[in-house]
Amino acid sequence: MSETTVPPAEQGQSSIAPVSLLQAFLFWLKLGFISFGGPAGQISIMHQELVERRRWISERRFLHALNYCMLLPGPEAQQLATYIGWLMHRTWGGVIAGALFVLPSLFILIALSWVYIAYGDVPAVEGLFYGIKPAVTAIVVQAAHRIGSRALKNNWLWTIAAASFVAIFALDVPFPMIVLGAAVLGYFGGRFAPTKFSVGGGHGAAKHSFGPALIDDDTPPAAHVRFRWSRLALLLVVGAILWTLPMGLLTAAFGWQGTLTQMGWFFTKAALLTFGGAYAVLPYVYQGAVSHYGWLTPAQMIDGLALGETTPGPLIMVVAFVGFVGGYVQPMFGAEQAFLAGAVAAALVTWFTFLPSFLFILAGGPLVESTHNELKFTAPLTGITAAVVGVILNLALFFGYHVLWPEGFSGRFDWPSALIALGAAVALFRLKRGVIQVLVGCALVGLVVHLLQN
């Protein structure tokens, strides 16, 4: 990146020195290991580090980038890191920032997934997950409440949320159809009742200044952020190759119906449906990975979400757990290479899940940088966000059913799990405890209960 002329900071502070690619690399690597707390926590960390402390980018430019990322399918925090990395150090800067946001989580989840599969039947491990499962149920309920309280501001949006719940719970409508229907309703609602569909989506304008920044409000756009048709065409060709080449190799090696091939195809579709965050796409992952393909069981899906909550990186990285378990239990390289099959599957689903995110940022960034005004046309996103509330509520009921009636309604009701779930809900809603604190506390309680029962 060429040096940027920055006016002297107020009150005697010195100008901000240009940031080398190595300095940025070390920061993005650090961020990959400390990005806990879901998208809100991750965005907060980036704001504190990049806007307030290091002043690599101004508040207004930061929020402008975030508004764009909020409109895209995919993990907005990872896309925001990619966007800022691209602004600072061109395409490679964006690739490095986005990749380092994901890779630590991938390696950690591969290791934890192997421990889970290999030692999950050890009494101590079983006990920990016995307490974690009801905690996850409460966490998903909290997610539905958090998104609903922000998104459902009028009866129109409540109606969309209720309709999406009925569609997926009672009618078993595929999740992509629900997203498409909600987007269409949002589009027409935005045209004919704009005041009812103007409450979703992005973030407001900047209200604070933390001093001059390396990329400031009035910093002239660098050459690489200017839109060019030739660059867009090149990116689309490269993106097509990066998707087609591995998919073609998988098809040639395992056939179209092979496990790895189907994982690549399924998670490509999932990557384009993650409007509203990871909780929104989890029902789609459940429908495919559990019900259709049988890559893992409902109980394993709940455990995978718990592991995703307790590791750094985007929550959608739970797909790495799904891939590992699916590859491990259906080893494509022979029974003695089950770990290798699981690790390859986890890496592949991560590739296909995040590839579209990089393309969205690198291809769309120059268009976004052409204006620093707020983005418009968010009504379809508002409709989708309302539908997501109903879908997440269905996910909570699904988890609750499998936790409280592990043998089905005809079996026993699990009172200890119900009490743990109630305690987790109190900790989350009333005591305002963090997700990791709740998971750790419930895991310890579950361990004690499980050991006493056995």
Quote the CA–CA distance of 314 and 350 in Å, as a whole number. 11
Quote the CA–CA distance of 120 and 402 in Å, as a whole number. 18
Q: What is the pLDDT of residue 38?
A: 63
- The pair of three-digit structure tokens given for residue 368, joined into one six-digit string: 């976004």
Q: Mean pLDDT across the chain, nearest whole number?
A: 82
pTM of the prediction?
Answer: 0.72
Quote the CA–CA distance of 349 and 300 in Å, as a whole number. 17
Q: Which of 77, 69, 73 is nearest to 38 (CA)?
A: 77
Give 256-289 as a DSSP string: TTSHHHHHHHHHHHHHT--TT-HHHHHHHHIIII
Domain boundaries, the chain: 18-100, 120-201+228-453
Quote the CA–CA distance of 235 and 218 in Å, as a whole number. 28
Q: Which of the pair, 11 or 311, is modelled with greater confidence?
A: 311
Q: What is the pLDDT of residue 2?
A: 41
Q: What is the pLDDT of residue 95?
A: 96
Lowest mean pLDDT among 121-130, 293-302, 334-343, 428-437: 121-130
382 near 276, Cβ under 8 Å?
A: no
- Say how many CA atoms lie within 13 Å of 246 toward its Cβ: 20
- The pair of three-digit structure tokens given for residue 275, joined into one six-digit string: 């409007």
286 near 395, Cβ under 8 Å?
A: yes
Percent of the chain whose pLDDT exceeds 90 = 30
Average pLDDT of span 316-322: 90
Average pLDDT of span 212-229: 81
Question: Mean pLDDT highest for which of 254-268, 292-306, 382-396?
Answer: 254-268
Task: Please report, for the chain, how many H helices and E strands are present, in that order.
Answer: 16, 0
Give the Cα-Cα-Cα angle 240, 293, 162 (nearest 5 degrees).
90
Q: What is the pLDDT of residue 358?
A: 94
What is the rounded end-to-end Cα distance, in angstroms, of the chain? 62
